[in-house]
Amino acid sequence: MSITRKKTLLQVENLSIGFSQYVRGIQKRVIRPISDMHVDINEGEIVAVVGASGSGKSLLAHAVLGILPSNAICSGSMAYKGEELTQKRKEQLRGREISFIPQAVNYLDPLMRVGRQVQIGMNKKTAQVEQQKLFAQYDLKKSDGRLFPYELSGGMLRRVLFATSVREGIQLVIADEPTPGIHPQALSEILRQLKQFAKEGAGVMLITHDIMSALEIADRVAVIKDGATVEISEAAAFEGNGERLKTEYTQRLWRALPQNDFDLDFRRKAGEI
């Protein structure tokens, strides 16, 4: 019996990111928050990128999208569908095949009705119809389009972000911390939608520090520490005492969760408490 192998959408290898800064007048230095990061995502697969705040997760997303600041210095390799992901190609694919769901809902314009925001970039003749279709797809009412961001709940704002970011033709979804501080029902809706993207054949990079939520939908988990990939394991390996995990760091990270051993010493070293 033959097994159909899913095609690799995104491949990042040996990624290093530094930022040049001037200090003491004309002296220049480079700080390097990412030193050796790698991750790959296949069609129809959800890969969760997890790690503490400041570990470099969001910088990985920004590098793939080509939206790093001008003083960024990158090395390593990135490929999309087997072809090098150059800056020019990133700009061509961004918003067309590669979608970004940002971390903060304040990406939305507070002075513009949300329906109008979703219509930005659409054909003017069909924009309203397309926007209403997207609202229906993301379980938003037609009347919600007349509201301003401050009039919507956190879960609704997240879905509006989905509607502005993920449209027809998208093949890779990068979601940067889409679930912080929202109530369980809204969290379930967000996770369900990400899973639906994968069911429809898109690859999903879920950037988060919430391991338990990520494990509800992820196929694999990439663990990031201090700007480097510690390991990438199947989501099923995160069980029991973590004996199937590859590194001591990931095992201790897993055991530090409240529902496990709640390793206080590890949590202090990781800066969580």
Please say if the pLDDT value at position 149 is more than 90.
yes
Summarize the confidence of residues 204-217 as an average pLDDT. 92
Task: List all residues 6 or more positions away from 99 whose beta carbon is below 8 Å from its beta carbon.
Answer: 165, 166, 167, 170, 172, 173, 174
DSSP 7: P
Q: What is the pLDDT of residue 3?
A: 46
Task: List all residues 6 or more positions away from 37 whose beta carbon is below 8 Å from its beta carbon.
Answer: 12, 14, 15, 16, 56, 60, 76, 224, 227, 228, 229
Superfamily name and number for 8-21+32-267:
P-loop containing nucleotide triphosphate hydrolases (3.40.50.300)
Please say if the pLDDT value at position 268 is more than 70.
no
Domain spans in the chain, listed from the N-terminal domain onward: 8-21+32-267
The residue with tokens 């301003």 is: 148
Please say if the pLDDT value at position 174 is more than 80.
yes
Per the model's pLDDT, the better-predicted residue between 202 and 179 turns out to be: 202
Summarize the confidence of residues 60-67 as an average pLDDT. 95
The residue with tokens 């369980």 is: 184
Q: What is the pLDDT of residue 19?
A: 94
Q: Confidence class of residue 8 from pLDDT cuts 50, 70 and 90?
A: very high
Tens of pLDDT, residue by residue over 188-201, are: 878 888 999 999 99
Q: What is the pLDDT of residue 265?
A: 57
Q: Confidence class of residue 262 from pLDDT cuts 50, 70 and 90?
A: low
Summarize the confidence of residues 23-38 as an average pLDDT. 86
Q: Pull the structure tokens for residue 76.
A: 């390593």
At residue 40, the 3 state secondary structure works out as strand
Percent of the chain with pLDDT over 70: 90
